[in-house]
Amino acid sequence: MTTLTGRRLPLGPGRHLRDGRVPPQPGRLPPRTGLRVPLWPGCRLRWTAPLVVAALTLLGIGAAGVTAPAASAQTNLLANGDFSDGSTAGWTCSSGDTVVTSPVYDGSSYALAGTPTSSDDAQCSQVVSIQPDSSYTLTGWVEGDYVYLGDSGTGGTDTDDWTPSASTWTQLSASFTTGSSTTSVTVYIHGWYAQPVFYADDLSLTGPAGSGGGGGSSGTQPPAAPTNLTVAGTTSSSVSLSWTAPSGTVTGYDVDENGTEVTTTTTTSATITGLAASTTYSFTVIAYNSAGQSPASSAVSATTESSGSGGNGGGGGSGLPAHILMGYWQDFTNGATPLTLADVPTSYNLVAVAFGTATTTPGQVTFSLDPTLASDLGGYTQQQFISDIQTLQSRGQKVILSVGGADGTISVDDSASASSFASSVYSLIQQYGFNGVDIDLENGVDPAYMAQALEQLESDAGSSLIITLAPQTVDTQSTGDDYFQLALDIQPILTMINTQYYNSGSMNGCDGNVYDEGTENFITALACTELEGGLSPSQVGIGLPVSTSAAGSGYVSPSVVDDALDCLAAQANCGSFVPPAAYPAIRGVMTWSINWDASNGYNFADTVAPYLATLP
């Protein structure tokens, strides 16, 4: 934080300067944004060649030797980069984005207006066809606080530019070079969570156009709207849709649920998972190509079936599939393969960043990138980390912050520490863009006060907040144990509980018998305790290590994990223990860790994720 005349001013998301430098302030732009000459309020001087000559003549310098720059023939590759058609056509935008006639950048008729919320940064993005091994420049004019312009999927180093505060139109600029096999790139503009409305105009991407053409070229036109959208089937947690392709060139389709994009596909069908039972949803489909988006199809409504698996589903499942593979990403080094967040494969639906840690204030949580990891990754920065979170989210993955771990000392044992926990985690969610929180406090929890903290956090962040728990086996032997009690207390907002079936020793199963860890019986008999103890099967996962290197004991091969899932979901492929019922809605698998899986060639994810996809 920087102090000025008694006020504490934020440096901006991801911009914690520790070397004494003053961050860019309004009116003091980074060098790459170019020259700004202050004149009088509302006036901006554009330095055309005739104006330069006239100015030099007026100063007595003369025009001799002054050569006018060659006219630029570069084409804007963005479709509707100036929003001149009065809509966001060509862009994939958040529901809070619209087009306005005021304010607009000089000479424009329309501008983008983005309204962030506590859970949405009001992003608009566009996929652009480009060429490999080529250089590109992205520019745009913005007004507002914490506005970001950037690119992703370049195949090289993704770049961005941002401003902490622009009270007048300010230019942002970023340049990148594509990789040897890159043929498309995503360009995005967004604000920041819970910040005021921002405006953007005259967005431009220049460089060699790809084979799909550019937004400013003629030829390819945006497709017409898809037709005949119908409901092909429903379950208690999913809706299957099909539609007819429009005429013309179509690259893919965006499927919107109640006005929010939930998935993309290149075919004319899609299944939306992770839905609540006995709930009505409205869906539309939008086609897109390199020239832009189609209008939305006619809407169709679908009601999910009632749950036949017992219990009540929890919250925070929006955008997650019915069956999840969750893994931990290590913000530290310990012999496992170091990874950037963007390196995580899409087989992991839910990624937990490990770990948020305690401060000297009881209950308060903080997080920052481990400097050793950052160095091992060649200088991995906090802004790259934030961009990587957005990259995973654009793939349909969710990213949450895990707090605690084996060395975690966070304690929430009264109302004050509960409030500190909720407010600090919410601040980190706003700063980094996390989708939720994982509780991995291995020194135990106070169920009453942790429930109070999580309920306050869910109230602040909204119903889409993902909440997961990662207890040890001793914490869930009965409904009176601390984590089991916490899970029952927060059941309406709990996404998933993943007991760690490793580093445990022998424990009791739901039938009262003792089972040895490292066996299918151990996993299924202990999971049965939670499944029969009042939790919905859609909230219960099984936690296992990916390899013998990842845990001291309890490892089973991925094929045994698949057998345990089959046993719990369908009472098939069981060991000597057979659960008293089938739980087809069993939520999935948690594993420690993605980094250790990478060290083992992703054998765990490549085996378990495809099997999860076969469950009903």
Report the catalytic residues.
Answer: 442
- 207 and 183 in contact (C-beta within 8 Å)? no
Any bridge partners for residue 270, and if so which?
241
End-to-end CA distance of the chain: 50
Long-range contacts of 50-58 (CB under 8 A, 24+ apart): none
- For the record, the structure tokens of 218 come out as 């003629």
Buried b (16+ CB within 10 A) or exposed e, 227-250: eebeeeebbbbbbbbebeebeebb
Mention every residue, 6+ apart, whose C-beta is less than 8 A from residue 80: 87, 88, 89, 90, 91, 215, 292
132 contacts 176 by C-beta, under 8 angstroms: no
Residue keyed to tokens 């030797």: 65
Q: What radius of gyration do the chain's Cα atoms show? A: 26
Report how far residue 124's alpha carbon sits from residue 170's, in angstroms, rounded to the nearest whole number: 18
CA distance 278 to 235: 9
Residue 550 and residue 27: Cα distance in Å, rounded?
A: 51
Beta strands in 145-192 (DSSP E): 147-152, 160-163, 166-177, 184-190
For residues 169 and 33, the answer to whether their CB atoms sit within 8 Å is no
Q: Which of 420, 326, 313 is nearest to 366 (CA)?
A: 420
Cβ-Cβ contacts under 8 Å for 31 (sequence gap 6 or more):
none
Amino acid letter, residue 475: D
> With contact defined as beta carbons under 8 Å apart, do 91 and 200 qualify?
no
Q: Tell me the two tokens of residue 82.
A: 């100036």
SS3 603: helix
Q: Is there a contact between 418 and 412 (Cβ–Cβ < 8 Å)?
A: yes
Cis before residue 69, ω within 30 degrees of 0? no
Neighbouring C-alpha atoms within 13 Å toward the C-beta of 110: 14
Q: Is 184 exposed, middle or buried (0-12, 13-18, 19+ CB in 10 A)?
A: middle
Residue 69 CA, distance from chain mean position: 43
CA nearest 465: which of 492, 445, 499? 492
For residue 268, CA distances in Å to 185, 228, 252, 264 come to: 23, 11, 9, 10
* Residue 563 dihedral angles phi and psi, to the nearest 5°: -65, -40
Only one residue has tokens 């030099």, namely 56
For 177, phi then psi, to 5°, come to: -120, 130
